[in-house]
Amino acid sequence: MLKTPYILTISNRKGGVGKTTVSVNVAAELAALGHRVLLVDLDSQGHCAVGLGVTVAIGEPTVHDIFINPDVKLAKTIKETVFANLALSPANQLFEHGSGVRDEFCLARALADEEIKNRFDVVIIDTPPSLDILLINALVAANSVLVPYVPHHLSYEGVRQLMRVLFKVMSGANPSLKILGFLPIMVAQHIRQHRIINAEVSRQFGAHRVMPGIRNDIRLAEAFSVGKPVRNYASRCRGANDFSALAKSLSAVLDANSA
């Protein structure tokens, strides 16, 4: 197991590209491999809780509380899930993005707490698409960032916009931040537009950084509707197989980090 949690941020400046689908299912797959996983939902839509079947009542502690009151411990916001090795620090759906403390190290300090370090091996951070203090916090706190994208032009523009933010963070607050890879979502190689965009991402950022994609699969959406990761809903479907393969490759990164 890891000595300190490996922190992976899932991000793209474009909304609707599958960030939460990736966050929930990568977290579930890593947990199934035996890693103790904390999923942190910084997006006030709160869809990570939906995907894990977790109910968050009004007034319950959430991760956004640490941006309102720095004395709040992140551990107090954590809710266990019914899935082994997987816990959630949920979002506050009433939190207004852009409000709270203007401190880009707030989340990093919260994750450095001894209780978090002793309790978890991996932290997955789901981010909002907006360029605000929450996104910056997620990048400053992370060891690496995974960038999901739909192979469409606007999603590619979201990747390019995120890169500008990443390079700023890498040259300042978090010089050790790494780009883990670019992950095509809802990919279909028979669609010409998908091939064009994937080729452009490869050309712009390096073919070695473009990961095997998550194929289009309606069961990924169905799994959210019943509050389960896809591995617990339809374990033999395309989406489940693709996320399982992705998690195994990520687990190798985690094992190397712990060596």
pLDDT per position as a tens digit, 112-161? 999 999 999 999 999 998 889 999 999 999 999 999 998 888 888 888 89
Where do the domains of the chain lie, and which CATH numbers do they carry? 6-244 (3.40.50.300)
Cβ-Cβ contacts under 8 Å for 152 (sequence gap 6 or more): 193, 197
Angle between helices 238-258 and 218-225 (to 10 degrees): 80
Instruction: Read off φ and ψ for residue 182, nearest 5 degrees.
Output: -110, 125
Instruction: Say how far residue 161 (Cα) sits from the centre of its chain.
Output: 18
Write out the chain's pLDDT in tens, 259 residues.
Answer: 446 899 999 999 888 889 999 999 999 999 999 999 999 999 999 999 999 999 999 899 999 999 999 889 999 999 999 999 999 999 999 998 777 888 999 999 999 999 999 999 999 999 998 889 999 999 999 999 999 998 888 888 888 899 999 999 999 999 999 999 999 998 777 788 888 888 888 888 888 999 989 999 999 999 999 999 999 999 999 999 999 999 999 988 887 776 5
Q: How far apart are CA 199 and CA 194, in angstroms?
A: 8
Angle between helices 192-205 and 153-170 (to 10 degrees): 20
pTM here is 0.93
Cβ-Cβ contacts under 8 Å for 207 (sequence gap 6 or more): none
Helix residue spans in 5-105 (DSSP H): 19-32, 47-51, 65-68
